[in-house]
Amino acid sequence: MTYDDQDYLRRLPLLDRVLIGSEELSLRVQQLGNEIGRDYPDSTPLLVCILKGAYVFLADLARCLSVDHEVDFMAVSSYEGGTQSTGVVKIVKDLRANITNRDVILVEDIVDSGLTLSYLIDLLATRSPRSIRVCALLDKTAAREKDVRVDYRGFEIPKEFVVGYGLDYDEKYRNLPFIGVLKP
């Protein structure tokens, strides 16, 4: 944990603790970037950022990639301001890119029940991409309701509600440089 991380902890009374510090995050994101770079030496994968939660992760991940790639954005909502999945996935913003014959990498902040990703994978598969893979920073495997294959996984975490590094609670805490846990 850096001094900056500790400073945030002191200033935010609702925050319980740091789960993954900013240095640990950046090391792991670099490793994921290296892995992806190795797997796509001669294609130009399309990184699809699942908004809003994945925007911080995508920005850092893209800067760790040494292979050509493109980015696009998709916004879905499955949570209505709380901490429980409703199981209903709504496409709020669709892709601009045509993904036919493209290698697609879905970039997610966190896989929880798996409902969002499995819905998205099924939807995008109907558009005939060459491949679809998933890159998720965090994975709560113990919370899985729907099986999804996570090809690139940053960290497996316990079934706790986390915030920071793009993840929010009621639209707050996205700017934290670390992954933290709120007080119960």
Which residues of this chain interact with Mg ion, rule CB under 5 A? Answer: 53, 109
Q: Which is nearer to ligand IMP, 75 or 125 (CB)?
A: 75
**Tokens linked to 146:** 């729907």
Q: Which does 79 bind (CB under 5 to 8 A by kind): Mg ion, ligand IMP, none?
A: ligand IMP
31, 61 Cβ separation under 8 angstroms: no
Widest distance between CA atoms in the chain: 49
Alpha-carbon torsion 37, 40, 45, 49, what sign? negative
Length of the chain: 184
Residue 115 found at the interface with ligand IMP (CB under 6 A): yes
Within 13 Å of residue 93, how many CA atoms lie on the same side as its CB? 11
CA distance 166 to 151: 20
Residue 17 Cβ vs Mg ion, minimum distance, rounded to whole Å:
22
Q: Which does 18 bind (CB under 5 to 8 A by kind): ligand IMP, Mg ion, none?
A: none
Q: Which of residues 158-177 bind ligand IMP (CB under 6 A)?
A: 161-163, 167
Residue 28 Cβ vs ligand IMP, minimum distance, rounded to whole Å:
17
Q: Which is nearer to Mg ion, 40 or 108 (CB)?
A: 108
**Of 21, 45, 53, 154, which one interacts with ligand IMP (CB under 6 A)?**
53
Identify the CA nearest to 32 among candidates 170, 181, 174, 138: 138
Q: Write out the residues near ligand IMP by the rule CB under 6 A.
A: 53, 78-79, 85, 108-116, 161-163, 167
